[in-house]
Amino acid sequence: MTEQNQVPDVELTKSAVFAAPEERTGCTDWGDTSVFEPALDQLLASLEAEAHLNTAGRFSNWMGIVGRLSQRLLLQREGYDRVPTEISEQPAFVIIGPPRTGTTLLQRLLALDPDTDALRYCDVAVPVPATRPGTDEDEAKIEEVSQTLTQLYARVPDLLKMHEMEPRMPDEEVFLIHHSLMSVLGPLRARVPTYWTWVMQAGDLDGVYRELKHFIAYVGQYRIGSRWVLKAPHHLWMLRQLIEGFPQAYVIWMHRDPAKFVPSCASMSRAILSAGSDTVSNERIGQESLEMLVDGVSRAMDYRNRATERRIVDVHYRDLMRDPQGTVARIYEAFGLELPGSMPEAIARHVAENPKGKHGHHGYSAEAFGLRNEEIRERFSAYIEEYNVQGEDSSAILNVPQNLGQAKPMARKGTGNSSRILPLELQGEGMVSYRDGCG
C-alpha cells in the first residue's frame, strides 16, 4: 500500500490477474481461453514495457483487467455461450465511424424507436447477471453502476464533458468486446502500441466477433424488440468481422472533418492517460492518435471498397447536428424502413433535454497536440474526397426545436435490493466487477 491516496501496489502479471478474479468470484472454470489469453499476454507485457504507469495507473489498469476477467468467469458460470444466438442475429442498426463524430447522439435517437432495443451502459459494464428491465434486480444494478460512474467522473472530471455514460442510456458494445481483451479500450487507457499492433496483425479478430454474438445474446435474452441499435467506433478497425458476423446489420457510418475528430480524440485520450501516468506528452498523444485513426479509417475504406455487398449508409455530423429529425428519417428511408409516427416528437424532446455542452464545454485544438489542421486533412485526403467531408470552420450547433419549451427530465424509479448484485469497485474507465459470484 502506497502513501499516495492509499492506492495498493499490484502485480501486472498473468498469475496475479488470473488469481484475483477466481478469489473474488469463487469460480475457476475459464472455458475456452484461446481468444483472450494471448491478448492478455500482449497487454500485460506492453503495460510493463511502454505505458510508464504511476501507482494509480497500475492499479486502475489492473482493476480493469481483473474486472473483465471476473465477468468472464461469471459469464462462463452462466453458460453464456449456450444461450441461443437468435436475438443477436436479428436486424440491427450498427453505427460506426471515428470517435467524436456524433455516434452517441445518433444511437440514442435511433433507440427512441419503440420497436428497438439497445444495450444500456449498465448492461455492457456489468453483463452478469442479465436482468429484465423494470425489475428490482435491474434497478439494483443501475444504482450500483451509477455510484461507480460518480467515482469515475470524480477521478477524471473532464470525461463527463466529452462522453456522458448513464446507466439507463444506450452505450457501446465495445465494453462487451473488451471481454476478449482486444478492443480500442486498451490503447485508450494506457500507451500500449506494441499490444495494439499485435491485435491488428495477429489477434483472433473473428473469434472476438463470435464471442460478441454470444455476449449480446446473453445480455439481451429478456429483450423483446425486433431490432437492435448498436454502436462502436471500434468497428472501423474490424469492419469485415462486423459485417460477416452480423450479416443482418444496417451499418451507418458517421463522417466528420478529421481536423475536428482527431484533436477531440487526443483530448479525451489525454484526460484518461494523465490520470495514470506522470509522463504524458501532448505531442506524442497527438501523433499516435492521428496514426491510429488514419489506420482505422483506411482499414474500413479498404474493406468497403472490396466488399461485394454494401449495406452501409453515410451520415455527416453536421447534418445530424443541424437536422436530427430529418437525418433519422433519411436513414429509415435509405434502409427501406418505416419511421414510427412517435419518432419526430421523441427526437425533438431528447434534443431539448440534452443540449450540446450540457455538462460543460469540451475545448480542444490541433495545435495543443503538436498538429496542424492542414496536416490532419492531408493525411485523410482520400477519406475526405471519397465521402465529400466538409471542413468545419466553427463548432456545429445542435438545432433545438423551440416549440417544446423547457422539457422536464424523466424521473428515476427507486432502487431495490437483490442478493445477486454484489458490490462494485472503481476500475479503469468505469469498469466494474462482482465479488463472490460462484460461492
What is the per-residue pLDDT across 273-303, written as a single tens digit (0 to 9) for each?
Answer: 998 999 999 999 999 999 999 999 999 999 9
- pLDDT greater than 60 at residue 342: yes
| Whether the predicted pLDDT of 436 surpasses 50 | no
pLDDT of residue 16: 97
The confidence band for 158, taking pLDDT boundaries of 50, 70 and 90, is confident
Q: What pLDDT digit, counting tens, does each position of 370-389 carry?
A: 999 999 999 999 999 999 99
What tens digit of pLDDT does each residue of 87-108 get? 888 899 999 999 999 999 999 9
Quick one: pLDDT at residue 339? 97
| Averaged pLDDT score across all residues of the chain | 87
Report residue 185 CA to chain centroid gap: 8
> Phi and psi for 238 in degrees, rounded to 5?
-135, 45
pLDDT of residue 151: 84
Looking at residue 42, what is its pLDDT? Answer: 98
Q: Is the pLDDT of residue 212 over 50?
A: yes
Lowest mean pLDDT among 129-138, 304-313, 331-340: 304-313
Sign of CA dihedral 113, 250, 173, 227: positive
Q: Is the pLDDT of residue 403 over 50?
A: no
Q: Where are the domains of the chain?
A: 83-387
| Separation between Cα atoms, residue 124 and residue 120, nearest integer Å | 7
Domain 83-387 bears CATH identifier 3.40.50.300: yes
For the chain, how far is it from start to end, CA to CA, in angstroms?
Answer: 28
pLDDT tens string 166-195:
999 999 999 999 999 999 999 999 999 999
Cell of 306: 472490396
pTM score over 0.75: yes
| Mean pLDDT, residues 73-93 taken together | 93
pLDDT at 152: 79
| Banded model confidence at residue 406, pLDDT cuts 50, 70, 90 | very low
Does 412 have pLDDT greater than 80?
no
The percent of residues in the chain predicted with pLDDT above 90, rounded, is: 76
pLDDT, position 325? 97
- Give pLDDT, residue 19: 98
| Cα distances (angstroms) measured from residue 189 to each of 8, 53, 65, 197, 224 | 19, 10, 11, 16, 35
